[in-house]
Amino acid sequence: MLKDFKEFAFQGNIIDLAVAVIFGTAFGAIVTSLVDDIIMPLVGILIGGIDFSGLAIEVGSATVMYGAFIQTVVNFLIIAMSIFLALRLVLRRKKEEEEEIEEEIEAQEQLLMEIRDLLKSQNK
Task: Render each residue's pLDDT in the chain as its tens digit; 124 residues.
Answer: 888 877 777 776 777 788 888 988 888 888 888 887 888 788 778 877 777 777 889 999 999 999 888 888 888 888 888 888 888 998 999 999 999 999 999 999 999 999 999 999 988 7
Torsion of CA 100, 102, 106, 112, to 10 degrees: 100
Q: What angle do CA 71, 59, 55 make, to 5 degrees?
A: 25
CATH superfamily label, 2-95: Large-conductance mechanosensitive channel, MscL; domain 1 (1.10.1200.120)
Q: Indicate if the alpha-carbon torsion angle 82, 73, 67, 21 is positive or negative.
A: negative
Task: Give the C-alpha separation, 60 to 56, whole Å.
Answer: 13
